[in-house]
A and B are shown apart, each in its own frame.
Chain A
Amino acid sequence: KAGVTQTPRYLIKTRGQQVTLSCSPISGHRSVSWYQQTPGQGLQFLFEYFSETQRNKGNFPGRFSGRQFSNSRSEMNVSTLELGDSALYLCASSLESVGNTDTQYFGPGTRLTVL
């Protein structure tokens, strides 16, 4: 079974631009979560989608948004990029999340650099 795939793997943007990252979960998985990883802040939860609905959201500004499609693929968008948005963005999928015990499977991440 194919793992979680994220595209693109690397991205370079300039301040003020917007960016869209894509995540394809493992086949059959309905929950997709997004995380931001930086050396200073570590791993921070962005949001989780389940059956096309955002179920949980972290403490990020409205510039960060996401969506999930009917095939469970998910995208996240960052508008008006800032230098501090440079990070590794990780996507994770799981079957369900009843009781929060389902195993999350992580993709390799998208490395975003904002110049």
Chain B
Amino acid sequence: TQLLEQSPQFLSIQEGENLTVYCNSSSVFSSLQWYRQEPGEGPVLLVTVVTGGEVKKLKRLTFQFGDARKDSSLHITAAQPGDTGLYLCAGVGSSNTGKLIFGQGTTLQVKP
């Protein structure tokens, strides 16, 4: 069974600080996706990383896929209150149906 462990589960920081969220597995994933979910809404895709070692940037967000494609990280530089939300990592399962396996999520609070 493929599992994703996401950490930390909760993070409360001050505006301007940097943070990193980790997503780890003992399994290899063909790709990994990061989502953001607002209360009362569905997850919204931020980025997909496909190649081992790949780094993608989305403004102040940097996403990295591990060389072995078993782990990923999300780094936010100079966090802002607007970054507050739930961040989810999700690996594409090995079954070729497009099924996603989600981590537990990281609830981020950025205080002004």
A binds B: no
What is A's interface to B at a CB cutoff of 8 Å?
none
